[in-house]
Chains A and B, each alone.
Chain A
Amino acid sequence: MTEHLPELVDELTKSGLDALDPEKLSVLKRTCKSSPNTIPLVFELLMKALGKQHAQIRISSTQAISVLFERSHQFRLLLIAALPHFLSLTLGLYQHTLPAPQAYARKLKRLAAECMLGWVRRFGSAYRRLGLAFRYLKYSVKIDFSQASASRQGERAVERAQEGRERNRERYMQWSWDSVLADVQMHRQDIDESLTVLDSCFAILVPGVAGIDDGVDSANAEKDNDEFEAMLDAEPQASGKSDDDSESDLDQILAVMSRNRHGISVDLNPDRLVDAEESPDNSVVYSTIREHLKPTMKVFKPQIDAWLDKLSRIDPALDPEIHPLIESVRGLQRRIEALEPKCRDLHIDTSFLNSSGESESEDEFEDATDIVKRYQRSKGARPGGIAKQGPKENPIFALQHEPELENDPTFVRPRQTAQRPRQSTANTEKSEIEKQLLKTAPVVEFGQDLMYWDKNTVDANVTGLEIRHRFLGSAREQAVLKGDAVDNLRKRTLLYSDVAQNTSRRPVIKECRAPLKNGKLCRRRDLVACPYHGKVVPRDEHGNCVGQGAEEAEEAEEAEEAEDAKEIEEPVLEEPATSTVATAARLEDVHWKDLAPLVSQQHPVAAGTGRRLRKRKEPAAPSALVDLRKAKGSSANRIRKILKRGF
């Protein structure tokens, strides 16, 4: 009965999680409830756990103690007898210091204060010492219980807010569902009608297509199938397998074909799958299609998308009707989506779908497009042709790239600004000379000096206003710069470049460039040695040592690695493998370890670190506890180590 208790308490308190494992806790509670004589043992175990030098273990222990305290009188008596000890371990009373990690130690204090407050409120009148402890904590130790109660209230407020949010969400979902439902019921009729009209128009134009959503290809195939079906029916030996699956159909077909010894070849013209052309006979049908297509594509389609979007956000548990509605709306969507390829095949202009009108901001452009189209039509362009769709441009400049614009009388092509080498119009001789000269000519960036290079007179004031310039003087009579001013303008301006300065004059302090754990290279600039990576040696682009300094640097690094490994391989707390929860700290390692081989394949940089990782010991216990030993590897420690070694 009691043998498992130490392990249970151990697992419960060493999980390092914010909340206790409910299953283990309920096992503990059940044990204590069913056999009260185990309570002293449980109490002892919990107090022992509470004494561990780890704030997270203490938090978990305090939580467990609180749970039992609120339930068992015997446990209360035991804890109250040991109250000073409990308070010293949780609140750091009597000159006790709480163990690391500091963040959890603070949390532990808060938790203990909250516990004390709760206990005193509930049991203070029945256990004198509890009240005395509270009095002592409040007045002598000056623990701020208002904060504890505030945090309790805060928690409650957060809970309330969450509940409120949940309620709001549900209300919103209900409202959204109602509105969508009403909307769908209102518009479904129209959409259905419109789609039926379109489908029947298509049926008129291409009789076989009727009712088949998958487009013309499958329609043709279906037609072929029908023919085969007919053939099969004509076959007296056919054993009446009208409900066969496709495989046996195929067998039948093959059997028929082999018997009749004639082949069937179906050639499809990829350009004109459907042989339908607009003519005066069917122009009414076409116009009907156009008439219905636009509202379907422009109004119904976005509407249906919006419905689906809204419906997908509604919890399906809200109403059993939601799922069927989604299905039916999806069906409408599929039917609308099937329209476009049909139109393409029938050469119906669907360009309006993409070219315009998706948002109000484009309305002003719409007129322009209409003008262009009208102009196009008047010039005799085929209205039925599928408009070329370029990649979707920035709508603001949509007009600029339209090729039809060239024909627009109101359109002025913007000037070509790209600097093209001028085609020499002079004779070839001159161009020959020019070529020769160009070979030897210095190439200089264009600047102010070149601008004024060939100008003898420069207008001082081109504004026409009378200006007294600060430097260039008054140009009242001759609005021309003086000779020396013009000379000055022809001088080349050279901007000071500190890079050039660096490379030419000062010795450059090179970067360390040792590979770092994050995959980058060390950017430290030290004269002789980097405090982290030892002597600065030439390295290649991956940070590997090259040249004569390589070996010794390797050695130094090796030594450091060995030292690191030693540090790492020291036992990590004396915790048995208990919890299955991986720690955040360890998670990193796991990820990196998984990635290391992959990374080292691609980047030889990581090879070194990969090797280092292989040395590392497997993590002993997956637990959410913070590893207190990690703090050892601070940068200060590393520098101290290197100073001791003497680089």
Chain B
Amino acid sequence: MRHIASTHILKTLALSETRGIARTHTAPIHWLSLDSIDSRYLLSGGADRSVHLLDLDANGDTKHMIKSMAQAACHDSAVSCVSWYAVDTGMFATSSYDGTVKVWDTNAMAVAASFDLNARVEMHAMSPTGAHALIAAATQAKSLRLGDLRTGAFAQELDIPMQMCVAWSPRDPFVLASGGQDGRVHLWDVRRADTHVSDFAAHTKCVNSLLFAEHGAQIASFGLDDKVSVWNVQDTAQQAVQMCRTSSQTDGSDLLFVPCEDRVVRVVDLAEGRIVAELHGHFDHPTCTAWRTGRMELYSGGSDSSVLVWTPAASQRLSAAQQAKRQDTWSDSD
């Protein structure tokens, strides 16, 4: 979902002609998660209730299509979010509209633990640094709940209803941000007795996604009012950048990949606050993006149930057969 891109070469991102991902999901894809350890395994969850695991370095067949190495369907409803455990690829978690958050053993592709929230879970978040084993789940219920992976039980309940998104700070491990239907972003410190730190009106409509910058000093939010806003965490009253036409989340010190409803993934330069590129490739609106650090590859999933691979145009090497097919074929009589 969220990843950092740093060079301007990324402005030339285009749909990869050489790499592709075979059709895995049969319904809209909701979430992509790339492991942070070696950026090799991609998890995808979708409305078809299934989770797919892809090895991005696997030798694809002749058509260079990456196929899913494992898949499992254990939820009763659409999978809303998937996330790797930051420290170890042996574990990941999924949340679903069926009201559960499930923790998986990757090797067995089986559920190890389950948290029942009795309300539609929009998103969950685990610590990006592995500093703690808390899992925060944003639901449509009355409160935001924290589960403890070590005990398998709920540890804490934050009294804020109808939350859409949560995010742990990479700098302060116990700082949690959440956004919801009221269009406000709330900041929490889960160690304090008075957990609620601050809140501010970020959007006029529902906050759909939150993303901390790598350094944790800034947080980007996007709302259903089609705006992306970047805020300084320390001094939230100050609004850093604001722009239009956006709709999901990713991140970057420099670039933010925003899947938009008009079938375009927009590349936003956070420093300048403007759109630097538009990625046209999806045939239905994209929902999620994942940046593969160090490989200059972007993965995006969408409602057209496809995962697209984007690479800088300069790095694409077409095969001879492809080159041949990309020639003009005028006949002599024309």
Contacts and interface: CB of A to CB of B under 8 A. Distances in A.
B16 A140 contact: no
A125 B306 contact: no
Interface in B290-334: 303-306, 308, 318, 321-323, 325-331, 333-334
Interface stretch (B95-103, B266-274, B279-287): B279-287
Interface of chain A, helix or strand or loop or mixed? helix
Interface string B112-124: 0000000000000
21 contacts: A30-B334, A71-B330, A72-B328, A72-B330, A84-B263, A84-B283, A123-B325, A125-B325, A128-B15, A128-B20, A129-B15, A129-B281, A132-B281, A132-B306, A132-B308, A133-B283, A135-B23, A135-B304, A135-B306, A139-B23, A140-B283
B142 interface: no
Interface in B9-55: 15-17, 20, 23, 26
Contacts of B321: 125-126
B284 A127 contact: no
Interface of A: 26, 29-30, 33, 70-74, 76, 81, 83-84, 87, 93, 122-123, 125-129, 131-133, 135-137, 139-140
B63 interface: yes
Nearest to A131: B20
Contacts of B20: 128, 131
Greatest chain A CB density within 10 A among B20, B283, B321 is at: B283
A135 B307 CA distance: 12
A511 to B, nearest CB: 60
Contact of A139 (B17, B305, B322, B325): B305
A195 B284 CA distance: 88
Contacts of B328: 71-74
Contact of B17 (A30, A87, A127): A127
A593 B63 CA distance: 64
Contacts of B63: 125
Contact of B284 (A30, A33, A73, A136): A136
Nearest to A136: B283
A518 to B, nearest CB: 50
A128 B325 contact: no
Contacts of A70: 329
A318 B26 CA distance: 61
Contacts of B325: 122-123, 125-126
A128 B328 CA distance: 17
A595 B325 CA distance: 58
A76 B322 CA distance: 14
B305 A33 contact: no
A29 B333 CA distance: 9
B308 A33 contact: no
Nearest to A133: B283
Contacts of B323: 126
Greatest chain B CB density within 10 A among A29, A127, A131, A136 is at: A136
B294 to A, nearest CB: 23
- Which 3 residue pairs across A and B have the least CB separation, nearest first? A126-B325, A136-B283, A29-B334
A126 B323 CA distance: 7
A188 to B, nearest CB: 50
A352 B331 CA distance: 70
A71 B20 CA distance: 26
Contacts of A83: 283
A72 B281 CA distance: 21
A140 B304 contact: yes
B305 A140 contact: yes
B17 A126 contact: yes
Contacts of B327: 73
Given A126-B326, A140-B284, A26 B334 contact: yes
A73 to B, nearest CB: 5
A29 B283 contact: no
Contacts of A71: 328-331, 334
Given A135-B306, A140-B304, 7 more contacts: A71-B331, A72-B328, A125-B321, A132-B308, A139-B23, A139-B26, A140-B303
Contacts of A136: 283-284, 304-306
A93 B328 CA distance: 29
A83 B15 CA distance: 14
A29 B331 CA distance: 10
Nearest to B302: A136
Nearest to B16: A128
B334 A81 contact: no
B139 to A, nearest CB: 29
A128 B17 contact: yes
Contacts of A84: 263, 280, 283
Contacts of B17: 126-128
Nearest to B28: A140
A33 B306 CA distance: 36
A127 B20 CA distance: 11
Contacts of A29: 330, 334
Contacts of A126: 17, 318, 321-323, 325-326
Contacts of A33: 330, 334
Nearest to B65: A131
A71 B327 CA distance: 8
Contacts of A129: 15, 281
A76 B17 CA distance: 14
Contacts of B318: 126
Contacts of A81: 280
B282 to A, nearest CB: 8
Contacts of A139: 23, 26, 305
A73 B280 contact: no
A214 to B, nearest CB: 58
Contacts of B303: 140
A76 B327 CA distance: 10
A71 to B, nearest CB: 5
Nearest to A141: B283
A137 B306 CA distance: 12
Contacts of B308: 132
Contacts of B322: 125-126
Greatest chain A CB density within 10 A among B15, B333, B334 is at: B334
A472 to B, nearest CB: 86
A595 B209 CA distance: 74
A38 to B, nearest CB: 14
B157 to A, nearest CB: 39
Contacts of A125: 63, 321-322, 325
